[in-house]
Every structure is written in C-alpha cells, then in structure tokens.
Structure 1
Amino acid sequence: MAMMPVPGAQADVALEGVPETMLWPLWSRASHGRGSGAVLQDPMATALVDAIDYDFRGRFGRPGMVHAVRARYSDDLIRAFLDRHPDASVVALGEGLESQFWRVDNGRVRWYSVDLPEAIAVRRRLLPAHARNTLVPCSALDTQWFDAVPGDGPVFVSAAGLLMYFERNAVVILLRSMVRHFRCGELFFDTIPPWLSRRSLKGWAVTRHYTAPPMPFGIALEGLPDLFRQISGLTPLTAQTCAEPYPRTMPLFALLSRVRAVKQRVAPGLVHARFP
C-alpha cells in the first residue's frame, strides 16, 4: 500500500506543463485549510505540501482562495449526491493530488481518479492506496476511462480545474460522449472567462518563476446556454461565480458578482449539471 511521506521527509516531484498545475491547487487548499475557521478542512493537503520538496510560494506566489472554494463547493455537491445515491460512482477527471476522496468518503462510494500517466504515478507514490479508489492513467479525453466505471448506477463526474486546458470542440465531444455512455448522473466543472483564456495564450506569468500553461477554452457564464445546447441530455442546474457559494470567503469578489456584467462576462464560474 502506498503511504504519504513521513513528517520530516522530503519527496521530490518533477513535473512540468499541465501536470505541474496539480501542485497549484494543492498549495491553495493546504494554505486555506489550516485552522478551525478555514473554508476547507484538508489535513492531507497540508501534509503533502509540508512533505514535497518544491518551492510552492516561489512558483505560485500568494495562495489564492479560488481553488479552496472550488474544492469546498464540489465537496458539498458530491456529499449531497452520495446522500441520495450512497453506492454511486464518482469520477474525478484530472484529479492530480486532490484528496477529495478522503474528505467526502461515505464508506461505500466507488471513486475513479483519472489523470495523465505521469500524474497518476505521482499520486500513486504520495497518496494512500484504497480498495475503493481506482487509478486510471489516461487523458480525460481518452474515453477508455468509461470502461473502468460501472454503468449500473448513477455517476458523479467532477472536472475541477480541467476543461479550460482543452479546445472547446474537444470539451463538447467529451461531454456528449459521457452523457450518451452513462445512464444518469451529475457533472461539476469550473470555467475561466474568455479574457483570462486570451491572457494565458499570450503567456500568463502568475509569478516571475511560473507561467501558466495555455488555457484555450474560456467561456463566460452568459455563454453557457449555447454550450449546453450543443450537448443533448445535459441540463444545467446552477451556474455561479466562485465567490457566490460562500460570500464571506471573498467578500469583495462576492460584492462585484452582484453586478450583472461582471458576473456574466468577467468572473470565473462554477457549474453544476445533470444528465438523465
């Protein structure tokens, strides 16, 4: 069984490009997951950051709240889903070093972690193995992961921090295929607005030492109806800015989100949908 690094040990992680982005939300979750009043309780993320030999602050700068809020929101969605379907399957696309399984595990869920082979290798080395957590080493766009997931019940698919790295047509094809393949379930994904997508394509220097990979798929919240019209059977339930679920965590952003133009065109989004 794989175990987390022991306190005081330092684990080397050599990643670049999109796989390296798994360390960015890990840094944010750990930083905003300390203390009883934190937006997210994630002691495993804290232990990983302490154990990995990597200059998180030097690379990514001040930890942002968005990643922690996104994780907390998807936790809440999955917990509600498992309350209704306790034996369901959850598929986490592009999961990286997310420790969500251990945060929401109800003792019965079957969890499928899908990511690129190099990311799965790091996950296998640094996170504990579990009988109900299946690791699937492939791109989310490679629909071979469909075959790893039982088709005998509801499925929750989470694509947190992922779809923006694909082209829009690839996203549409993936979601169409997913809806056709699985009998019923729910989907969570987050979005970046077009202006941030354009910035990333020009080279978004997050800090002096880290430039984010290109994110070609940017979509404003006001553009979601057109996206959903392209995916028959996928029905939106909620679409909101990342500041709206827990406004006290980002009070200024939550206030700006009340301005329709800001909300609909400028802000990153959190999207929850279902398929019959």
Structure 2
Amino acid sequence: MRKLHGVADTLFIPLEARIFVSKNYPEYFYDAKALELEKYIPDNSIRKNSSEYSMMASVARYYNMDQIVKTFIDKHELCNIVYLGAGLETAYYRLNTSKALFYEVDLPDVIAARHSVLGETKNDFLIGGDLFSLQWTAQIDTSLPTLIVVSGVFQYFTEEKILKCISDLKSTFKFGQLLFDATNETGIKYANKYVQKTGNKNALMYFFINNSLVFAKRTNTSLIEEHAFFKDARKLLSKKLGLYTRIAMKIVDDKKRAILVHLKLIKK
C-alpha cells in the first residue's frame, strides 16, 4: 500500500491519536475510519514519542468538538460544517448525518493526499487553498447557518493573522459560528515540546488565549461557551488511565491550559 509523503508534518499526529484511543478506550471515543487509515502512516515515530496523555489530549479535542457539532446540526434543518485545516479529519464519518453539508479545507497538497485515501462523498466536499485567503468561501452557501471548526491549526500562526481571519469570517458568514481549540501561555510551551519530540522541529506554535471572554471582546464576537478538554474523559475512563495521565488531565482542566472556544460571529 502506498505511503503518503510530502504533506504537512503534523498531518499524522492527530490521526495516530485517534487510532490509539479507538483501540484502547473505545468506550470513550471510537473512529472506525481512522483505524482504516493506519496503513498510510509513514512510520511509528509518533507512537514511540507520544505518551498516553498526549494521545488523550489530542482525542479529547475531537470528542468535545463532535458533541458541539452534533448540537449545532440538531438545531438546524440544513447547515454547513466547515473544517479549516482539515488534514485527515474523519468527523464526517463519525457523525454520519445527512442534515449538514461538510466542507474540508486545507492546502492543495494535503487535500490531494486526503482525496487519495478518503475520496469525496455526496455531502463532504474537498477544497484546496489557503484557509486565510477566504477564497474557499466562494464554493459555500454563506447564507446558511455555518459552524467553522478549526482543530489544531490556529496555534501555528500569529495572533495578528488569527484576528484578521476572524474579522474576515465575520464579514462573510451571515449566520456563522467559530469553534477552535486553544491553549494558554503555559500550555503552548508544553505543546511545542511535544511536537518537537515527535520529530518535527519546524512547527512551533505561537497563538494562545489566556482569557476567552477578553478574546471575544477583542474580536467583537460573542462567547457562546468555553469548554474544558477532559471532563468527560476523566469521568468515563476514571482509573483505567495511567496515574500521570489522570493528574495531567486534572491540572490542564483546573488551570485552563487547553480549552475549546466557541464564538458567535457577529457581523458588523
């Protein structure tokens, strides 16, 4: 089976995490499509350099985002779900719904890699391009209620670029919401250490949020919710997880080192 090469270095980290948790803790999170993609991972360097906690941290993001996306879809008869920096995201298959139009947006080489292994289905459309240019919006009905999901992407860019992106999204989507993950200033230091440990020395992270409400005011958006990462994982898995993992999860939640930020895009 052909391996994937030449795509973004961080493409396989979240996929590897979804595979790990699906195999070890399916009662918390199970991703059948991710398991099918295991054969495409180039080597086992991510697995060797990842802790149970780092795998759980990656998957907790998807677990919680899935819940928020489901709620959004349930509230609307027809809507858009847009994944920016989609990579090999498999939420379309996990959520399995016909009520929403899914759009996967990423750089052209990543979209080409995605198409080669996942293809394009009736309600899951692939768009190659720069997510910050917003040219991709021309292929979407922006008058529909739209939830834009950005998972593990904003951290790699400067705050200035993120602020400009949110401003542009506000001007484009009539009924838009934005969901993304963020770390605080301390969390970004730990995240950078982990990515470098997996063998990627050139993907440093820059963007962080210390206060979601302050950030919402700065962007003239409305904060719908700030969501902790590990509440359900700690409850569902309890002592099945290693001691270090459980301690790290509690610290991260208590100190808000990793959160999901859900904003309503208020059009000017």
* Contact 2:216–2:263 (Cα < 8 Å) also in 1: no
* Contact 1:188–1:273 (Cα < 8 Å) also in 2: yes
> Given the alignment, which residue of 237, 262, 268 partners 2:224?
237
Task: Report the TM-score, using the length of structure 1 for normalisation.
Answer: 0.83
Structure 2 equivalent of residue 174 of structure 1 = 165
Alignment deviations for residues 141-177 of structure 1 (CA, whole Å, 9 cap, x no partner): 1111121210231001000111101110110111111
In the alignment, structure 1 residue 118 sits paired with structure 2 residue 118? no
Which has a greater percent of helix?
2
Structure 1 equivalent of residue 205 of structure 2 = 215
> Given the alignment, which residue of 146, 163, 174 partners 1:155?
146
* SS class of match (2:37): helix
* Contact 1:112–1:135 (Cα < 8 Å) also in 2: yes
* Contact 2:73–2:100 (Cα < 8 Å) also in 1: yes
Task: Report the TM-score, using the length of structure 2 for normalisation.
Answer: 0.85
Structure 1 equivalent of residue 60 of structure 2 = 69
* Contact 2:3–2:42 (Cα < 8 Å) also in 1: yes
* Contact 2:212–2:261 (Cα < 8 Å) also in 1: no
Kindly, what percent of the aligned residue pairs are identical? Answer: 20
Q: Aligned in 2, Cα 1:204/1:151: closer, same or farther, shift over 3 Å?
A: closer
Comparing 44-53 with 125-134, which one deviates more in the overlay? Answer: 44-53
> Given the alignment, which residue of 247, 254, 267 partners 1:252?
247
The offset of 1:204, in angstroms, is 5.6
* SS class of match (1:70): helix
* Contact 1:189–1:272 (Cα < 8 Å) also in 2: yes
* Contact 1:154–1:183 (Cα < 8 Å) also in 2: yes
Distance 1:206 1:177 in 2: 35
What letter is aligned with 2:91? Q
Root-mean-square deviation over aligned CA pairs: 2.4
What letter is aligned with 1:172? L
Distance 2:20 2:107 in 1: 25
> Given the alignment, which residue of 211, 215, 225 partners 2:213?
225
The offset of 1:257, in angstroms, is 5.0
Comparing 104-113 with 238-247, which one deviates more in the overlay? Answer: 238-247
> Given the alignment, which residue of 231, 250, 259 partners 1:269?
259
* SS class of match (1:157): strand
What letter is aligned with 1:111? F
In the alignment, structure 1 residue 38 sits paired with structure 2 residue 33? no
Number of residue pairs matched by the alignment? 256
Structure 2 equivalent of residue 101 of structure 1 = 92
Structure 1 equivalent of residue 241 of structure 2 = none
Distance 1:71 1:132 in 2: 20
The offset of 1:25, in angstroms, is 0.3
* Contact 2:80–2:102 (Cα < 8 Å) also in 1: yes
